[in-house]
Structure 1
Amino acid sequence: MLHSLPRTSLFALLLLSYVVAPSLAEEVKVPKKENFHLFLLIGQSNMAGRGKVTPDDQIENPKVLMFNKEGQWGPAVDPMHFDKPKMVGVGLGRTFGLEVSKANPEVTIGLIPCAVGGSPIASWNPGARDKATNTHPYDDAMKRAKAALQAGELKGILWHQGESDSGKGKSEIYQQKLTELIARVRKELDAEDVPFIIGQLGQFEENPWNDAKRQVDQAHQAIAKSDSNSAFVSSEGLTHKGDKVHFNAESYREFGRRYAKAYMDLQSKSGDQ
């Protein structure tokens, strides 16, 4: 039948199948809204993930989904983020989702990846642009989160950021900036009590902390202590992948398990299962 079509029509049909079919194949059926628990993943490269991807990292689990770049729900497989396609890899998000799913088998977990490598906290202000990626981290994240929330309920926000603010003139105001960001995100997403999980910066012997990085760490810990709906996740014992900046794949997976435990501990304290 295809041979009977004019050459231009045949070309158009083939092009349409190439463009449309892959995106349709990625779509999955999502559960009822109350059974679809969503988590927003924001920050810079150590949230996006830079670990080496293995076949195991791409095994699909129908109970753990991700909101992809095209704004569709699909299986949560690494790499999840798309901030810097040539660099992105294994992160902490997928393991976090798998761990929370194991503890809550009656629901489906939905991950919303929005991290941007190299982004300072200033670029997480409304209207701010990240020059390196030519994106608007905060605005883009809010747009994606609101689209994803049409299908589910926001249950947590995962944050890992601070390396780009570990310098003079930035670290001194970091606690104030992060406190404002947390309040802004919760308000905009109508989630005033949603847990906010903060991961510690990498502690690598080959790249010792300066005073500015210690100040960012103190800010992370202080916010978690002062906000009953926040938690701090230690990076103790985790290792880098050789660049002294990014965790290796196994450390990201362990970090994901620690984030999941911190989240579930908060849930246990609040009685919200």
Structure 2
Amino acid sequence: MMPPDFPSLDTWILAGQSNMQGVGLLSEALSPDDRVWAFSMAGKWEPAQDPLHPLWLSCQPVHQELRRPNLPPEQQGLSNEELHKLSTAVCGAGLGLSFGKAMADALGTPVGLLPAAHGGTSLDQWSPSLKEHGGHSLYGAMLQSVKAAGAPLRGLLWYQGESDALADQGQTYGERLAAWITALREDLGLPDLPVLLVQLGNFVSTDRGTEHAWDLVREALAELPMQVPFTAVTTAADLPLNDIIHVDAGGLIRLGRRLARQALHLAGHAEYASGPVLQSLEPATWPNGLATVRVHCSGLTGAWHPEKIFGFSTWTGAGEPHPSLSVVSASPDPNDPAVIRVLLTVTPGDPALAEARLGYGLGLDPCCNAVDDADMPLCSFLPRPLDWKR
């Protein structure tokens, strides 16, 4: 079976680890749409339907080779078909269908998806240096699938980084991902290939040892579009979870729509804004022991929501919670609803103010909720200096 309008079918790669693979409840998955097609992991075109990443049925051996060594003893003797049924009995809903439907709605043409993600994988496991291993490497398998699919490649969606949020990996993640994108574009012969990135969602854990590395990976993803052309980023940090680390089906549906809006923006559709991009922080002290920081962003659609915004925090220059500056509240500015006004307590004349910083969406499991009229979120950002007006 071939998709309609196959010679002009815009196709998008879905790559990364488990949150791109999709671990949402299948009972909450979107229904198939005859405008959205997938080049399945079995190597054939078919109407897209969750789960889009049935790894045990993949024609690319890397997906079984990575998983079999980690099976519990009682599953070692099971066939690939039996393991597929076990692994997809409950979960497997992802963001691909949502993205495809939103693109088809906007463009009025069918959309192709090329699932290539694999849960628990690091950026090193996606290394272009492994492409000579073909289907025995993630990168090589992805390139082989692109060639076999035969449809025009329009871009790549990337949700990965949890496995790199480690003390020795987080610091270099942005540099390594930029090099990866460059290599992919060269190998595909598509120097302007759009790459849409997802900033890491939440991780409910009592182990705070990786917290800073998690923030570093989030920051690297947020900063990448300023360094690498034809890229964009949105965040999953405000989305609900299905377990301690996986975005639930409803959250993935929202995330797919966010990525579609960014794809349309990069393609030059002016009616779709980029999504919020932090531009500046404008602090000012008041004589009554309070202060404000007005958060300015570009790329908004309409105004900020909700009325009570959570996720802002104050820090010292040394990266510690600020001892005397606390967030009271945050909300859309009544004089300009496209600006967030953060209200702070302040001790007038406190020398610690000089080094104060404001961050958003920090930590493994932040509570942050700032979105615009199009449900496009403010990405997490590391503490930024505040230049006080006195």
Q: What is residue 4 of structure 1 aligned with on the other side?
A: none
Q: What is residue 184 of structure 1 aligned with on the other side?
A: 183
Q: What is residue 44 of structure 2 aligned with on the other side?
A: 72
For residue 39 of structure 1, give the secondary structure of its aligned residue in structure 2: strand
Query: Cα deviation per residue 1:154-175 (whole Å; 9 max; x = unaligned)?
Result: 1111000000000011112211
Maintained 8 Å contact 1:48/1:83: no
Alignment length (residue pairs) = 235
Higher alpha-carbon Rg: 2
Query: Cα deviation per residue 1:172-220 (whole Å; 9 max; x = unaligned)?
Result: 2211210111011111111111110000101356677711011111111
CA gap 1:247/1:197 in 2 versus in 1, 3 angstroms: same
Q: What is residue 160 of structure 1 aligned with on the other side?
A: 159
Q: What is residue 54 of structure 2 aligned with on the other side?
A: 82
Deviation at 1:55, TM superposition (A): 7.4
Structure 2 letter corresponding to 1:141: M
Structure number with higher helix proportion: 1
Deviation at 1:268, TM superposition (A): 2.3
- For the residues of structure 2 that align with 1:56 and 1:140, how far apart are their CA atoms? 26
Identity within the alignment, %: 29
Structure 2 letter corresponding to 1:181: W
Structure 2 unaligned spans of 5+: 57-83, 272-390
**4+ runs of 1 displaced by more than 4 Å?**
204-209
TM-score, normalized by length of structure 1? 0.79
Deviation at 1:54, TM superposition (A): 2.5
Maintained 8 Å contact 1:122/1:128: no
Output aligned runs, 1:76-115, within 5 Å: 76-83=48-55, 85=84, 86=87, 89-105=92-108, 107-115=109-117
- For the residues of structure 2 that align with 1:227 and 1:174, how far apart are their CA atoms? 14
CA gap 1:109/1:224 in 2 versus in 1, 3 angstroms: same
Maintained 8 Å contact 1:158/1:197: yes
Output aligned runs, 1:1-273, within 5 Å: 27-34=1-8, 36-54=9-27, 57=30, 59-83=31-55, 85=84, 86=87, 89-105=92-108, 107-126=109-128, 128=130, 135-148=136-149, 150=150, 152-203=151-202, 210-242=211-243, 244-268=244-268
- Give the RMSD, CA atoms, in angstroms: 2.3
For residue 54 of structure 1, give the secondary structure of its aligned residue in structure 2: helix
- For the residues of structure 2 that align with 1:33 and 1:173, how far apart are their CA atoms? 40
- For the residues of structure 1 that align with 2:171 and 2:212, how far apart are their CA atoms? 10
Structure number with higher strand proportion: 2
- For the residues of structure 1 that align with 2:237 and 2:216, how far apart are their CA atoms? 17
TM-score, normalized by length of structure 2? 0.56
Structure 2 letter corresponding to 1:120: S
